[in-house]
Amino acid sequence: MKFCKNLQKVIDLSDPEWTPFWVNYKMLKKIIKELVSGKSESDQEEPNTAPQPTLQPVTAMNKSPGEVTFFKLLHSELKKSTHFFSRAQAEFGIRHERVKDAAEFCAQPGALMVQDRWSQLAKALYRFYKDLLLLENYAIMTYCSFSKILKKHDKNTGFVTREAFMKNVVSTANFTNYPTVANMIKETEALFGEVTKKVMEEGKGDLHRDEKLFIDMVHKLNAQATGVQQEEMKEIGVSGGVGGAKSQEVEEGGGGEGSGIKVKEIIGGFNDNDAEDISAKLDLVRELVGAQGEKEEEKKEEGIVNKVEEEDRGIKRGMGEGEGGIYGRVGKRRNPTEAV
């Protein structure tokens, strides 16, 4: 499945309030398409024009309004992503302290009068744990989004920007290295296991079937996304894991580097065919409503493109050349004979 479809699947599973903060991958793809289209038309209009002297890398990019628009939006998306992740990480830190305080309270003798205290805590932990996994997935998929879109940009334009931009800009972003979130996931997994035992002692059941399936689907998505991310990092020469210790280890098929108990030790056993059936139904619903939604989205994107282009008219005049500028020290021109 193409990355864009995988990204949309994750967006659909995540909190709807997060939707505006994902990388606008489709928009960036559209700008690249327009860049290629404009270049082709220019070549057709002047087929016999004598070759021009090779421009300096950044100068060549500055002279292209489309390139300016692309990198302007790319930096805007990066700023948006880092701002969201910072706010989300702070919010999750508060929630983490609350569930730990609740666990301490439930363990006190005075809490015996609170009916179903462990069951209530288990529900709160489920919601928090699920959201933590989705936040981790946001970090992984956001990193992959920037790497993938720059790879597509370089392949279609001939510029070599991906490696430098990822190493000098994206690799310093908070969603690339997130030990705080990774530690919260590890601690929550351990606490979840302890609370589940208390729930069973109360004679209550574990998570509902739908909750189990959802957690499993998120784990599988994270495992798949981590695999894609490691491939992207290897291609651009970045070593080491992202986020420190990985948060999950899937019972079958591997997953991230282990940081705690396995999925089935938390949520119990279930039939994997059920998860696949639910996933297929979700995909079917998206296909049924996708056609109309894509048309509406295209209209919105056209308006955004026009607005960005209007705001960027003349930005190239004031843009620094050399190591500065909005390109993050990128812009090396690819040799035409070099393999893409």
Report d(CA 97, CA 247) in Å as an integer. Answer: 19
- What residue spans of 52-116 are helical by DSSP H? 57-62, 65-106
Nearest Cα neighbor of 138 from 218, 72, 216, 230 is 218
**What is the structure's pLDDT at 278?**
41
193 token code pair: 């296991």
pLDDT in tens, 45-87: 555 544 343 344 556 666 678 899 999 999 999 999 999 999 9
**What is the structure's pLDDT at 3?**
86
**What is the structure's pLDDT at 197?**
84
pLDDT in tens, 89-127: 999 999 999 999 999 988 887 766 667 788 888 889 999
Nearest Cα neighbor of 269 from 252, 248, 253 is 252
**What is the structure's pLDDT at 268?**
33
CB 51 within 8 A of CB 310: no
**What is the structure's pLDDT at 280?**
44
Report d(CA 135, CA 149) in Å as an integer. Answer: 21
Q: Pick the residue with more confidence: 281 or 12?
A: 12
**Which amino acid does the sequence have at 301?**
E
Q: Residue 181 — pLDDT band, cuts 50, 70, 90?
A: very high
Three-class SS state of 251: coil
Phi, psi (deg, nearest 5) at residue 223: -65, -45
pLDDT in tens, 216-242: 778 787 888 888 888 899 888 886 555
Nearest Cα neighbor of 186 from 267, 244, 105, 139 is 244
Q: Count of CB atoms within 10 A of residue 37's CB?
A: 11
Q: Pick the residue with more confidence: 336 or 80?
A: 80
Q: Count of CB atoms within 10 A of residue 162's CB?
A: 23
- For the question of whether the overall pTM of this predicted structure is more than 0.95, the answer is no
Q: Count of CB atoms within 10 A of residue 28's CB?
A: 21
- What residue spans of 158-208 are helical by DSSP H? 162-168, 179-201
Q: Residue 192 — pLDDT band, cuts 50, 70, 90?
A: confident
210 token code pair: 């739908």
User: Helices 117-157 and 209-236 sit at what angle, rounded to 10 degrees?
Assistant: 30
Whether the pLDDT of residue 317 is over 70: the answer is: no
Average pLDDT, the chain: 72
User: Helices 25-45 and 3-13 sit at what angle, rounded to 10 degrees?
Assistant: 150
